[in-house]
Amino acid sequence: MAQENAVLPDALCWHEFSWDGPECQSFPGTVHMDKSLRSEGYSTFSVIISPGETSKTVATISHLWGEFLAPGMERRSTVVALGGGVVGDLAGFAAATYMRGIPWVNVPTSLVAMADASLGGKTGADLPQGKNLVGAFHAPKMVLTDPSTLRTLPRAEMVSGIAEVIKAGIIGDPELYKACTQGWERIEADWDEIIPRAMSVKIEIIEADPFEEGIRAVLNLGHTIGHAVERLSNYQLRHGEAVAIGMVAEARLAEKIGIAQHGLANEIKDACTRLGLPAEVPAEMNLEEIQEMIKVDKKRSSAKVKYALPVRIGEVRPGYEVSDIEAILNGGFDMSIILVLHGPNLNLLGQREPEVYGNLTLDELDSRLKEASEQLGLEVRTFQSNGEGALIDALHEAQEWASGVVFNPGGYTHTSVALRDAVASIGLPVIEVHLSHVDAREDFRRRSLISPVCVGKISGFGWRSYLLALRELAWQIKGEV
């Protein structure tokens, strides 16, 4: 710290986080910081905070105010937070509210704090009803991060902290996420790259939205559900462990409502468990209590809880309202979404050549498919268009949320190279279907430009051609009929 920095005062205090409670007075960081500051002419004193989330209370904040008053700290005094995320939250909140705000400096020593908690100026304390329900935006004047301090951490804290690094990769850095999936040896060989990349994701977002009025809410990925399970575990779950559980559950939510790529939740789950993180809500935890805890989440708006949900690795979107999450919390959600795509003239079903195409209307056909899909553990979404472009657009959009496609191209079967290319490009299993037995009809109907790029073709069974295709996709996707 340079003495010419105008925000640095005549007196400083710092708050320490120790793994051994009161013994933190002998923590080497205390000695080094004290010597460094005193050699530059500053007077210092220390305040010791007991380790863990249980210290993150309004009572601790009140204690800190008293400690600040005792030696006569003034508005030009500075608080230095030396420790993990709890220390930073408490020291920052105390600094934000003491004398209506005094400067502070954050020196994070845990991986959670380096990758996430030390950045952005969010400070606060917990209430019995939930985490971070009181606090303030009060940015530190400086954040000093030294990855070498990670060598002092217990392994469990390292595992917890890596969840925030994974989160940063999911939000905005696919290469960072990829590095995390390569295991601890890859990560620990290059902390000097890993930590700055994780920090950069958050810094870019908070610079664009410092007070969480929009895009900054993506940083809450995993935290809405994560904070609830962390609190209900009585903080036996570490913060990063709870965030990992939250990220997997919220990815399942994203798949369920159709904004995430199929398989994203399992991909994130694999990345977390490979590094030693939990990925499922503990079996002994009451799901109703989790939902009640979520209802008092600080991120709610107009009495509604809004989630930041992943679309793919590298993209998260904020602002989604989801009501029923019990199946997702229980790890029981595994419903794949199938697009059923109807081509030209299928809107005329029931009146167009019923002797060939049957008596069912399109609405009746779709209703039967949706009923059958529930028994197969699938969700069906249907779309019909007489336009080639609209069908192509539907196929492209399906890449974002569908697990497979049942496609009746109608007359485009025999003519559309563009639809053939669209099917080939989306990377999803597509089954071509026809109500009539096209191979027993006119010669021109026997030719399909599309079936060569599909995983199969079913025709001649009326509406059951669609049903057979759904069953086949269920097997293709889930390995079951």
DSSP letters along 199-212, please? HHHHHHHHHH-TT-
What residues does 108 pair with on adjacent strands? Answer: 83
Which CATH architecture group holds 11-152? 3-Layer(aba) Sandwich (3.40)
Structure tokens belonging to residue 463:
């509406």
Indicate the helix (H) or strand (E) that contains 248. helix 239-256
In the residue annotation, 202 being an active-site residue is answered as yes
Cα–Cα dist 46/34, whole Å: 9
Active-site choice (157, 220, 241, 306) = 220
| Three-class DSSP category at 96 | helix
Contact between 16 and 82 under an 8 Å Cβ cutoff? The reply is yes
Active-site choice (138, 197, 223, 269) = 223
Instruction: Just give the CATH number of 336-478.
Output: 3.40.50.9100
Active-site choice (212, 250, 267, 379) = 212
Contact between 340 and 383 under an 8 Å Cβ cutoff? The reply is yes
Active-site choice (100, 185, 284, 480) = 100
In the residue annotation, 138 being an active-site residue is answered as no
In the residue annotation, 122 being an active-site residue is answered as yes
| Three-class DSSP category at 222 | coil
Q: Where are the domains of the chain?
A: 11-152, 155-185+195-329, 336-478
Contact between 57 and 126 under an 8 Å Cβ cutoff? The reply is yes
Active-site choice (122, 131, 167, 269) = 122
Active-site choice (164, 241, 250, 255) = 164
pLDDT in tens, 347-386: 998 898 888 888 899 999 999 998 888 777 788 999 999 9
In the residue annotation, 472 being an active-site residue is answered as no
Active-site choice (56, 131, 239, 471) = 239
Active-site choice (56, 131, 216, 457) = 216
Cα–Cα dist 127/344, whole Å: 59
Its sign, for the CA torsion 76, 55, 149, 173, is negative
C-alpha Rg value of the chain to the nearest Å? 28
Contact between 416 and 388 under an 8 Å Cβ cutoff? The reply is yes
Amino acid identity of 157?
Answer: E
Active-site choice (131, 138, 202, 471) = 202
pLDDT in tens, the chain (481 residues): 333 222 333 455 544 433 333 334 445 566 677 788 888 888 888 888 887 889 999 999 999 999 999 999 999 999 999 999 999 999 999 999 999 999 999 999 999 999 998 999 999 999 988 888 999 999 999 999 999 989 889 999 999 999 999 999 999 999 999 999 999 999 999 999 999 999 999 999 999 999 888 999 999 999 999 999 999 999 999 999 999 999 999 998 888 777 887 689 989 999 999 999 999 999 888 888 888 888 877 555 555 688 999 999 999 999 888 765 665 665 544 557 899 999 999 999 889 888 888 889 999 999 999 888 877 778 899 999 999 999 999 999 998 888 899 999 999 999 999 999 999 999 999 999 999 998 888 888 889 999 999 999 999 999 999 999 999 998 877 554 3
- Looking at residue 303, its pLDDT comes to 53
Distance of CA 324 to CAs 257, 266, 292, 296, 335, Å? 11, 20, 12, 16, 15
Active-site choice (197, 227, 238, 471) = 227
In eight-state DSSP terms, residue 196 is: H
Which backbone phi and psi does 246 adopt, to 5 degrees?
-65, -40
Q: Give pTM, 2 decimals.
A: 0.65
Residue for token pair 């789950």: 269
In the residue annotation, 274 being an active-site residue is answered as no
11-152 and 336-478 in the same fold: yes
In the residue annotation, 306 being an active-site residue is answered as no
In the residue annotation, 63 being an active-site residue is answered as no
Nearest to residue 294, comparing CAs of 318, 323, 267, 317?
323
In eight-state DSSP terms, residue 57 is: B
In the residue annotation, 178 being an active-site residue is answered as no
What residues does 429 pair with on adjacent strands? Answer: none
Specify the fold of 155-185+195-329. Answer: Dehydroquinate synthase-like, alpha domain (1.20.1090)
